[in-house]
């Protein structure tokens, strides 16, 4: 009898274990960001945190996933104070459904993986110590820039605080200790260092964080933060390339690092916790080289968090993404931030190929190793597709002709690398050549015309020889700037009626500080290390604008984020250093349109004196959200209040650019329509000014401005105008564009805004 009871009990326990195991498998927890209505908090609770804990405890009990009320502590990830009214938590599907019935619940979104968009630039931008934005802004003195990234290498010379005054008393931030990071590592330059990974840990069970502190183990954060505000470092270079004195855009600004991007992953729960803390700490500018793709504004935690930042008058700079040259690939199309595209500089890194007949030819190269200057036999191997023949060649320079097919240059590169030859010369017109320039083996890349010279030399000599000299830095490259091929293009998915990107900045081969224990490159099979690295991407363009915004913030501390954005956009350059329209590498070197480069290439010195600004208030953004036909709950998710004033809904934000969609595919032939925009500009110049409008002709469209003259008698006076675009209901071209320019009679100010008409249709 006892044996039967024991047996039955064993069977019962085994079945119970199996059921529990299956339930656990089926009821897998996930991270959610939960928006709550603070007005629904019962008076019994002293603060939001305790209310959220009690709510989670109740949810856990109701779902029967756990009956222990203390489980709420393990389920809660963050309580947010500014970026949203709410919290993040690890919830099972049953718990999430139960939570939706809790008092005060507004909405929730699942945690998402975030995409990271990964010396000479200050000179290229016209910044100098004698005149312009640097001396006028005192080099960004005392402006505090918060950077959300992979952390910092605090020992870098770029963070030295020589000559800096005491930390501003308004600063509330801290320097947190952690693994290999002591709070004493902060100084008057690096004034804050915090790290956020609770969301990451909740996502991945039994995870081991390799560096549980603000110390940078990837390099990205050290690079971006010193691009923003690195101090002066002499004799900086990347293995001899780009030699000189390195410095950031705002060398006297302060840096606060918020590490929320980890080698192990990056999630929105941690990123918005970092933004939340940055707001509390008192940053003036936020720089974020990251983003989410294809997300509605009310479902984008980063967009929602940055709305809270601009409510606190914090300027937010973001990267456009690296998914170009395709259109509609841009992220951070948020109307209240600035979205930055990447351009080239007037600097190239290369090598010189010296032929035996004394002819020298320059090409692109970033080979980081040392290479002998001796002559070697040089041989032409056509497309370098025969791996067997390539492997037979020893101690010769091999020349390859790129046939121009998809991935053909990549195939050649891999073939040469596998063969292990002395050096290679690639003849190519590929727009992606920069990807291969930082080669682990000696390689130089030539354009077709120069390649033909090399091939002719080889074929006309019985014993052709050549040598290669690497580590050349060439300045004054023309034309420049150009739009990079990889920079993501608009229109924006989240808000297509606001033209994005906003502006372009240097993003190609940018030199900035780097952790000395993180490999910067490879020479053959060996990793090599350096204190400064060359990186490319909109990740590098974004901090340029963040730093320049810090300069403007130092001069105009009371300007709104929209005013600073306007000043940057309307004074940007559309013309390159040859006097021609800026070209787009990803568009076969055609003139770049604003969907690729925004208003133009940033010009810090001109931005200092914009003449007119297009300002926007928080209510203007609310009017836009109302005009987008968002529900009250969706708007509340963004604004954190139920008392949103939607009495004046408008899709026409007071923005320094214009985009009109002519995409009625069912329109009758030759039928036309008119799209109208209303704008208000504020005179920020000293004294009275009369501005006259001018619109560049756009073939197939009729653009009018009314009135076409604006007279300002006093500083801060506002004037309004209307811009109308008449065109076919269905545009026959993908993009048409031009520019509206307001110029004052004394020609002191030229205020330029891009105009785009497009047939693109955003599919949602």
Q: Which residues are catalytic?
A: 149, 220, 539
Helices (H), 400-493: 408-419, 433-437, 448-459
Contacts of 492 (CB under 8 A, 6+ apart): 330, 333, 339, 498, 500
Contacts of 165 (CB under 8 A, 6+ apart): 141, 142, 188
Contact 341, 596 (CB under 8 A): yes
Which DSSP string corresponds to 137-153? TGGGTT-EEEEEES-B-
Sheet (strand 612-613) strand order: 612-613, 672-683, 718-728, 702-706
Number of helices and strands in the chain (H, E): 20, 38
Host H or E run for residue 388: helix 387-392
Spell out where 232-314 has E strands.
233-238, 241-246, 254-259, 285-288, 290-291
- Coil, helix or strand at residue 356: coil
Which one, of 509, 471, 478, 511, lies nearest residue 244 by Cα?
511
d(CA 477, CA 475): 6
Q: How many CB atoms lie within 10 A of CB 300?
A: 26
d(CA 404, CA 448): 11
d(CA 185, CA 153): 10
Spell out where 180-314 has E strands.
190-195, 233-238, 241-246, 254-259, 285-288, 290-291
Reading the block at residue 684, the tokens are: 């920020």
């Amino acid at each position: 009898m006892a044996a039967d009871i024991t047996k039955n009990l064993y069977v019962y326990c085994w079945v119970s274990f199996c059921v529990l195991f299956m339930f656990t498998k089926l009821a897998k927890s996930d991270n959610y960001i939960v928006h709550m209505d603070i007005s629904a908090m019962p008076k019994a609770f002293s603060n939001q945190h305790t209310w959220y804990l009690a709510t989670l405890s109740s949810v856990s009990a109701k779902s029967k996933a756990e009956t222990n009320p203390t489980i709420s502590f393990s389920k809660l990830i963050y309580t947010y104070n500014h970026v949203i009214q709410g919290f993040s938590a690890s919830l099972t599907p049953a718990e999430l459904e139960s939570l939706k019935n809790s008092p005060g619940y507004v909405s929730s979104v699942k945690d998402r993986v975030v995409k990271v968009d990964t010396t000479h630039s200050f000179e290229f931008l016209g910044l100098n110590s004698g005149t312009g934005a640097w001396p006028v802004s005192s080099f960004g003195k005392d402006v505090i820039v918060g950077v959300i990234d992979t952390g910092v290498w605090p020992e870098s010379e770029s963070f030295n605080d020589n000559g800096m005054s005491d930390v501003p008393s308004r600063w509330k931030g801290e320097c947190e200790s952690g693994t290999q990071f002591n709070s004493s590592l902060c100084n008057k330059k690096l004034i804050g260092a915090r790290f956020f990974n609770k969301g990451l840990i909740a996502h991945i069970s039994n995870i081991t964080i390799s560096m549980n502190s603000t110390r940078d183990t990837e390099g990205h954060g050290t690079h971006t933060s010193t691009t923003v505000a690195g101090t002066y470092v002499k004799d900086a270079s990347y293995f001899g390339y780009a030699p000189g004195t390195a410095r950031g855009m705002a060398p006297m600004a302060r840096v606060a690092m918020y590490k929320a991007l980890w080698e192990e992953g990056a999630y929105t729960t941690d990123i918005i916790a970092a933004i939340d803390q940055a707001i509390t700490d008192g940053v003036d500018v936020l720089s974020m080289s990251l983003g989410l793709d294809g997300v509605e504004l009310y479902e984008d935690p980063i967009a929602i968090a940055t709305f809270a930042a601009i409510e606190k008058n914090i300027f937010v700079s973001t990267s456009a993404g690296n998914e170009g040259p395709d259109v509609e690939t841009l992220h951070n199309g948020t109307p209240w931030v600035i979205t930055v595209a990447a351009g080239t500089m007037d600097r190239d890194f290369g090598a010189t190929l010296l032929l035996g007949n004394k002819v020298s030819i320059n090409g692109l190269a970033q080979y980081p190793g040392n290479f002998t200057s001796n002559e070697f036999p040089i041989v032409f191997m056509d497309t370098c597709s025969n791996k067997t023949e390539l492997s037979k060649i020893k101690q010769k320079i091999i020349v390859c002709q790129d046939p121009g097919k998809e991935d053909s240059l990549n195939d050649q590169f891999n073939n040469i690398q596998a063969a292990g030859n002395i050096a290679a010369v690639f003849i190519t017109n590929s727009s992606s050549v920069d990807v291969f320039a930082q080669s682990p083996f000696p390689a130089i890349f030539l354009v077709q015309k120069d390649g033909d010279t090399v091939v002719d030399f080889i074929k006309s000599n019985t014993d052709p020889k050549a040598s290669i000299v690497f580590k050349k830095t060439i300045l004054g490259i023309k034309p420049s700037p150009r739009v990079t091929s990889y920079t993501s293009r608009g229109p924006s998915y989240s808000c297509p009626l606001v033209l994005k990107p906003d502006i372009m900045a240097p993003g190609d081969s940018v030199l900035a500080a780097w952790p000395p224990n993180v490999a910067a490159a490879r020479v053959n099979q060996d990793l090599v290390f350096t204190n400064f690295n060359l990186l490319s991407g909109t990740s590098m363009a974004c901090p340029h604008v963040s730093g320049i915004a810090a300069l403007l913030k130092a001069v105009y501390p009371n300007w709104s984020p929209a005013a600073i954005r306007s000043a940057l956009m309307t004074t940007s350059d559309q013309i390159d250093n040859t006097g021609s329209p800026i070209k787009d590498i990803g568009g076969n070197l055609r003139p770049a349109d604003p969907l690729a480069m925004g208003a133009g290439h940033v010009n810090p010195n001109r931005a200092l004196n914009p003449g007119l600004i297009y300002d926007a208030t928080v209510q203007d953004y609310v009017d836009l959200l109302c005009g987008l036909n968002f529900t009250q709950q969706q708007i509340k998710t963004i604004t954190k209040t139920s008392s949103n004033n939607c009495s004046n809904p408008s899709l026409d934000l007071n923005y320094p650019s214009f985009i009109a969609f002519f995409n009625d595919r069912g329109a009758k032939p030759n039928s036309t329509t008119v799209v109208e925009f209303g704008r208000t500009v504020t005179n920020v110049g000293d004294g009275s000014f009369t501005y006259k409008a001018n619109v560049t002709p756009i073939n197939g469209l009729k653009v009018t401005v009314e009135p076409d003259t604006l007279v300002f008698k006093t500083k801060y006076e506002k004037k309004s105008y209307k811009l109308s675009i008449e065109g076919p209901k269905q545009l026959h071209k993908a993009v048409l564009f031009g520019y509206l320019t307001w110029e004052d009679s004394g020609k002191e100010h030229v205020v330029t805004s891009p105009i785009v008409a497009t047939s693109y249709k955003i599919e949602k």
